[in-house]
Amino acid sequence: MPTISGKHKDLNSITPEIMSRVLEGAYSGRIDHLTAIDCMYIYEFEGGRIKGATNLYTKQAINDVIHNSATSSGKNHVVIFYSDFSFEWGPNM
């Protein structure tokens, strides 16, 4: 899956177009498991979200889900965090 460089060098980023292609299954041969994490407030999540996404907006909740969903079988598990543009959410999560 192609990524782009962004402001935070330690984070891989994707474009909205790539996200759309991921959700359509274009990378299913490379991605064994996808976790889409919506980092918006619960009222924003309830107002509309990506189908199948999980709403997590605290670091502890995100850590719990990532550690619980990790597999030991060596499969390629991709975790995508998304939110509206915010100086708070993306960089801090």
Say what the pLDDT of residue 22 is: 94
Q: Smallest Cα–Cα separation from 39: which of 49, 26, 52, 25? A: 49
Spatial distance between the Cα atoms of 76 and 61, rounded to a whole number of angstroms? 21
Tens of each residue's pLDDT in the chain, 93 residues: 899 987 778 888 899 999 999 999 999 999 988 889 888 888 888 888 888 898 987 888 888 877 776 654 557 888 888 887 555 555 555
Q: Which residues contact 14 (CB under 8 A, 6 or more apart)?
A: 1, 2, 3, 4, 22, 80
**Number of CB atoms found within 10 A of residue 33's CB:** 13
Global confidence as pTM: 0.73
- CATH fold of 16-92 reads Oxidized Rhodanese; domain 1 (3.40.250)
